[in-house]
């Protein structure tokens, strides 16, 4: 299967003032991301509050992103849910509307505690869109599925024909590299932590990734890859450290899903607030966050 080169963005879901999904900003959103070097989107995932959307809302968002995507811009649809039949339907829909690929994280309930359970879950989802590449989204901090990913690849190999790889959002670079090397690099290992892009490049195998802070800091993050490819390690290090400085700021404001979504408003693309049970930022917090970002000269370096 084709392997992803460059960074894919995990976009936020736009809501209007009444808390309904708002499709209007998506064309401008897609253009912003493409203009700043992103190669596609992974929609309806954690950054997109996917588990808090109805099945119909997820379909509407998928259709809007596919329609708005510039030429060559990949749209990967996260279809994971607590109902595997719903996930299978969403996968089928993604295939029907011309999405580039699909993905799913492990369901948060019931907790998946065995590799066989995870493979069966992914198998029943992926078969809904047999012509599309399927990515397992490994983010155990969200669902407690702390399972060995090398064992998952071994068990799924040959059983899920359209398994393309893993979006790996976890701290073990050793395991990441073991998965990357499995089967002579058979599977696409997309790094999923913006704070560790450079270490993954240095291990020699990272080609693509899916990020959340790429929504507003994509120019810096794609710059890390560009500098590495030029052999300019010092610039790559400086950009990675700057990316970590920005992440340090959003961590003080409830992380990327809450703080990061509010940054989009600060750079000119208001995507609304977050759905319950997220605690939204106050105007006072927004003002403080803006000041901290200004101290980093963020608004001269961010996506625009």
CA 252 – CA 219 distance, rounded (Å): 22
How many other C-beta atoms can be found within 10 angstroms of the C-beta atom of residue 294? Answer: 12
pLDDT, tens digit (0-9, with 9 covering 90-100), for 14-53:
999 999 999 999 999 999 999 999 999 999 999 999 999 9
Nearest to 199 by CA among 222, 167, 246, 233: 233
* CATH number of the domain enclosing 209: 3.20.20.70
- The per-residue b/e assignment along 235-274, b for 16 or more CB within 10 angstroms, e otherwise, is ebeebbebbeebbebbeebbebbbbbbbbbebbebebbbb
pLDDT, tens digit (0-9, with 9 covering 90-100), for 67-90:
999 999 999 999 999 999 999 999
Tell me if residue 74 is catalytic: no
What is the predicted pLDDT for the residue at 207?
84
Please tell me which residue in 39, 167, 176, 253 is annotated as part of the active site.
Answer: 167
- 264 φ/ψ sector (left φ>0, alpha ψ -120 to 50, else beta): alpha
Please tell me which residue in 29, 51, 121, 137 is annotated as part of the active site.
Answer: 137
Count how many domains the chain has.
Answer: 1
CA 205 – CA 188 distance, rounded (Å): 10
Residue 110 included in any domain = yes
**Using an 8 Å Cβ cutoff, are 2 and 217 in contact?**
no
* Two structure tokens written together for 33: 């991301």
> What residues make up the domain containing 121?
6-237
SS3 171: coil
Residue 51 included in any domain = yes
User: Is pTM, for the whole model, over 0.75?
Assistant: yes
Confidence of residue 205 (pLDDT cuts 50, 70, 90): low
Residue 196 included in any domain = yes
Tell me if residue 167 is catalytic: yes
pLDDT, tens digit (0-9, with 9 covering 90-100), for 237-284:
999 999 999 999 999 999 999 999 999 999 999 999 999 999 999 999
Q: Could you tell me the sign of the dihedral formed by the alpha carbons of 202, 174, 214, 298, in that order?
A: negative
Residue 152 included in any domain = yes
Mean pLDDT to the nearest integer, 138-166? 97
Characterize the bridge pairing of strands 40-43 and 101-105.
Answer: unpaired
What is the predicted pLDDT for the residue at 298?
98
Give pairs for 21-26: CB < 8 Å, separation 24+.
Answer: 21/53, 21/57, 21/60, 21/61, 22/271, 22/272, 23/60, 23/61, 23/64, 25/269, 25/270, 25/271, 26/61, 26/64, 26/65, 26/68
Percentage of the residues of the chain whose pLDDT score is greater than 70: 99
Bridge partners, 165 (sequence order):
135, 188
Residue 20 included in any domain = yes
Residue 301 included in any domain = no
Residue 61 included in any domain = yes
Confidence of residue 206 (pLDDT cuts 50, 70, 90): confident
Residue 188 included in any domain = yes
């Amino acid at each position: 299967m084709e392997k992803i080169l460059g960074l894919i963005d995990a976009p936020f879901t736009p809501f209007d003032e009444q808390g309904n999904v708002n499709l209007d900003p998506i064309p401008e959103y897609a253009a912003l991301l493409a203009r700043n070097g992103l190669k596609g989107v992974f929609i309806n995932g954690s950054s997109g509050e996917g588990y808090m959307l109805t099945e119909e809302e997820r379909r509407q968002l998928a259709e809007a992103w596919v329609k708005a995507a510039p030429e060559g811009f990949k749209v990967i649809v996260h279809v994971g849910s607590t109902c595997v039949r719903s996930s299978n339907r969403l996968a089928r829909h993604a295939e029907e509307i011309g999405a580039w690929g699909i993905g799913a994280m492990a369901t948060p309930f019931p907790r998946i505690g065995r590799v066989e359970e995870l493979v069966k879950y992914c198998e029943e989802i992926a078969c809904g869109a047999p012509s599309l590449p399927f990515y397992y989204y490994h983010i155990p901090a969200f669902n407690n599925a702390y399972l060995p990913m090398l064992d998952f690849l071994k068990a799924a190999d040959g059983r899920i024909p359209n398994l393309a790889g893993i979006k790996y959002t976890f701290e073990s670079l050793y395991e990441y590299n073991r998965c990357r090397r499995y089967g002579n690099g058979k599977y696409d290992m997309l790094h999923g932590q913006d704070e560790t892009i450079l270490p993954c490049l240095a291990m020699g195998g990272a080609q693509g990734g899916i990020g959340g802070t790429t929504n507003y800091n994509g120019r810096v993050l794609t710059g890390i890859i560009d500098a590495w490819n030029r052999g300019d390690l010092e610039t790559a290090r400086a950009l990675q450290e700057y990316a970590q400085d920005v992440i340090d700021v959003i961590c003080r404001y409830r992380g990327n899903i809450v703080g990061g979504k509010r940054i989009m408003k600060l750079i000119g693309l208001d995507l609304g607030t977050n759905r319950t049970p997220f605690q939204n930022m106050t105007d006072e917090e927004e003002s403080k966050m803006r000041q901290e970002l200004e101290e980093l000269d963020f608004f001269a370096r961010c996506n625009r």
